Amino acid sequence: MAEIYDTLVIGAGQAGLAAGYYLQQHQRRFLLLESHARVGDSWRQRWEGLRLFSPQRYNALPGLPAPGEDWYLPTRLELADYLENYAAHFSLPVTLSCTCERAHKKEDGSWRLETSRGDYHARKLVVATGAYRTPSLPEALAVAFPDSVAQYHSSAIKRVEDLVEEQSDVLLVGAGASGQQLARLVLALGARTTLAGPAVSNLPRHFLGKDIYWWLYNSGMMTARTYRWPGKMLVAEGKGEVTVGEPPVPAGVQRITAKIEAYRDGRLHFASKQTAPLQWPAADRKGVIIWCTGYHNQYPWLPEEMLAADGRPRHSAGRSTVYPEVTFLGLPNQRHTNSSLVGGVGQDAGELLGG
DSSP string, 139-152: HHHHTTS-TTSEEE
Distances 169 to 138, 187, 197, 216, 321 between C-alpha atoms, Å? 20, 10, 17, 39, 48
Please give the Cα distance from 328 to 334 (Å, whole number).
8
* Residue pLDDT, tens place only, 119-162: 999 999 999 998 777 888 899 999 999 999 999 999 999 999 99
- Number of H helices and E strands in the chain, helices first, is 8, 23
Please give the Cα distance from 260 to 277 (Å, whole number).
10
Any idea what DSSP says for residue 56? G
CA dihedral 54, 55, 61, 64 (to 10 degrees): 170
Please give the Cα distance from 151 to 163 (Å, whole number).
10
Please give the Cα distance from 199 to 184 (Å, whole number).
16
Structural domain spans, the chain: 4-133+297-353, 137-200+241-291
* Residue pLDDT, tens place only, 12-47: 999 999 999 999 999 999 999 999 999 999 999 988
- pTM of the model as a whole: 0.91
Query: What pLDDT is stored for residue 234 in this prediction?
Result: 59
* Residue pLDDT, tens place only, 44-98: 998 888 889 899 999 999 999 999 999 999 999 999 999 999 999 999 999 999 9
Q: Which fold has domain 4-133+297-353?
A: FAD/NAD(P)-binding domain (3.50.50)
Amino acid identity, residue 186?
V
* Residue pLDDT, tens place only, 176-230: 989 999 999 999 999 999 999 998 888 899 999 999 999 999 998 888 888 766 6
* Residue pLDDT, tens place only, 309-329: 988 899 999 999 999 999 999
Distance spanning both ends of the chain, measured CA to CA: 29
Q: Do domains 4-133+297-353 and 137-200+241-291 have the same CATH topology?
A: yes
Q: Is the dihedral of CA 38, 40, 46, 49 positive or negative?
A: negative
Assigned architecture for domain 137-200+241-291 = 3-Layer(bba) Sandwich (3.50)
The SS3 of residue 14 is: helix
Kindly report the CA angle at 72 between 24 and 347, in degrees rounded to 5?
Answer: 30
